[in-house]
Chains A and B, each alone.
Chain A
Amino acid sequence: MSGGRHDPIRISFTLNGETTTVEVAPTERLLDLLRYRLGLTGTKEGCAEGECGACTIYLDGLPVDSCLIPAYQVRGRVVETIESLDPEGMAHYHARGTTQCGACTPGVVMTAEWILRHPDRLETHTVRELMAGNLCRCTGYDGIIEGIEGALEDREAE
Chain B
Amino acid sequence: MLRREGLSKLTGRERYVDDLPLQNFLWGATVRSPAARGRISEIVFGDGVNWSEFVIVDHTDIPGRNAVYLMEYDQPALAPGYVRHVHEPVLLLAHPSREVARRAVREVEVIVDVDPPALDFRTLPSADLIQYGEDNVLKRLSIQKGDVERALAESPIVVDGVYETGAQEHVYLETQGMLAYLDDDVLVIKGSMQCPYYVLKALKTALNRSDEEIRVIQTPTGGGFGGKEEFPSMVALHAGLLALKSRVPVKLIYDRTEDMVATTKRHPSRVWHRTGVDENGRLIAQEIEVVMDGGAYVTLTPVVLSRAIIHAAGPYHCDNVRILGRAMFTNSVPYGAFRGFGNPQAHFAVERHMDVIADRLRMDPVELRRINMIRDGQTTATGQVIADGVDRLGIVDRALALADYERRRREHWIRNSEHRYLRRGIGLATFYHGAGFTGSGEVMLDSRLQVEGLPDGRVQVLCASTEMGQGQITIFTQLAADRLGYDPVDVSIAEPDTHRVPDSGPTVGSRTAMVVGRLVERACDDLRRKVGLEESVPGALVKDAIIAWHSAHPGQRLLGKARYEPPPGIAWDEEHYRGDAYGAFGWAAHVAEVEVDLRTYDVRVLDFVSVQDVGTVLNETLARGQVQGGVAQGISWALLEECVWNDGAMENGQLTNYIIPTSGDLPPIRVEFMEFPYKYGAQGAKGIGELPLVGAAPAVLNAVAAATGRQPTEIPLTPERLMALFGNGHAPGEAP
Contact = CB atoms under 8 A, between A and B. Distances in A.
Q: Do chains A and B touch in the complex (CB under 8 A)?
A: yes
Interface of A: 27, 35, 39, 41-49, 51-52, 54, 81-83, 85, 87, 90, 93-106, 109, 126-129, 131-145
9 contacts: A94-B3, A94-B7, A95-B2, A99-B6, A109-B10, A128-B663, A141-B662, A142-B625, A145-B668
B495 to A, nearest CB: 16
A27 B99 contact: yes
B622 interface: yes
Contacts of B2: 94-95
Given A49-B656, A100-B629, A101-B468, A137 B12 contact: no
Nearest to A50: B656
A98 B668 CA distance: 14
A128 B5 contact: no
Contact of A140 (B255, B468, B629, B664): B629
Given A49-B656, A51-B656, A90-B11, A138 B625 contact: yes
Interface in B406-433: none
Indicate the size class of the contact surface on chain B: 35 or more
A44 B625 contact: no
A100 B9 CA distance: 8
Contact of A46 (B256, B632, B666): B256
A156 to B, nearest CB: 20
B10 A99 contact: yes
A79 to B, nearest CB: 14
Given A94-B2, A132-B662, A141-B666, A43 B225 contact: no
Contact of B221 (A43, A101, A140): A101
Interface string B1-37: 0110111111111111011010000000000000000
A128 B256 CA distance: 25
Interface string B660-673: 11111010110000
The secondary-structure label for the interface of chain B is loop
Contact of A48 (B13, B256, B628, B663): B256
B660 A135 contact: yes
Interface in B194-229: 220-225
A82 B625 contact: no
B664 A129 contact: yes
Interface of B: 2-3, 5-16, 18-19, 21, 99, 170-175, 220-225, 255-256, 468-471, 621-622, 624-625, 628-633, 654-656, 660-664, 666, 668-669
Contact of B171 (A45, A97, A137, A145): A137
B3 A103 contact: no
B214 to A, nearest CB: 26
Contacts of B16: 41, 44, 102-103
Contact of B668 (A51, A90, A102, A142): A142
B625 A100 contact: yes
Contact of A137 (B3, B9, B470, B633): B633
A123 B400 CA distance: 34
Given A94-B2, A128-B663, A49 B655 contact: yes
B664 A41 contact: no
Contact of A90 (B7, B18, B471, B629): B7
A140 B632 contact: yes
Contacts of A94: 2-3, 6-7, 10
Given A83-B12, A90-B11, A137-B633, A100 B663 contact: no
Given A101-B172, A135-B660, A142-B669, A47 B256 contact: yes
B300 to A, nearest CB: 21
Nearest to B634: A140
B684 to A, nearest CB: 22
A49 B652 CA distance: 13
B104 to A, nearest CB: 16
Given A96-B621, A99-B10, A101-B221, A140 B256 contact: no
A50 to B, nearest CB: 9
Contacts of A126: 664
A102 B5 contact: yes
Contacts of B10: 87, 90, 93-94, 98-99, 102, 105-106, 109
A103 B222 contact: yes
Contacts of B629: 100, 137-140
B628 A137 contact: no
Nearest to B11: A87
Contact of A135 (B220, B655, B669): B655
Contacts of A138: 173, 223, 469, 625, 629
Contacts of B669: 140, 142
Contacts of B221: 101
Contact of B225 (A42, A132, A137): A137
A139 B222 contact: no
